[in-house]
Amino acid sequence: MWDQFRHLGLMIPIDEELTPQRRAAPPLQTLHGTVAGFLDNRKNNADRLLERIREVMQTQWALADSIWRPKFIYSRVAAPDILDALAERCQFVITAIGD
């Protein structure tokens, strides 16, 4: 994709040197009995949306637990301690925006 951006003369909107290389986590076989993380960005209604998703998931998959963490402000990356806490305890994390 980046090569196509460059070929078309488009600016890449990120600093590639600062962007850590990440790989996708392996897919979960089931959500039943897992620990879900919910990352609230604190925009209006994001908490309501995430709460409803959590309720539906608990009903459908009998989650073992759920961890809720708000981040400081919607326009910033979540603090490393929040991400670390979610990564340590959760098999997956859902985040949402509101308004």
Q: Strand pairing of 65-70 and 92-96?
A: unpaired
pTM: 0.74
Per DSSP (E only), the strands in the chain are 35-40, 65-70, 92-96
pLDDT (tens digit, 9 = 90+) per residue, 18-55? Answer: 556 666 778 999 999 999 999 999 888 899 999 999 99
Q: How far is CA 76 from CA 9, 15, 65, 70, 94, in A?
A: 29, 16, 27, 12, 17
pLDDT tens track for 74-95? 888 899 999 999 999 999 999 9
**Which residues, at least 6 apart from 58, have a Cβ–Cβ distance to it below 8 Å?**
66
Residue type, 36: A
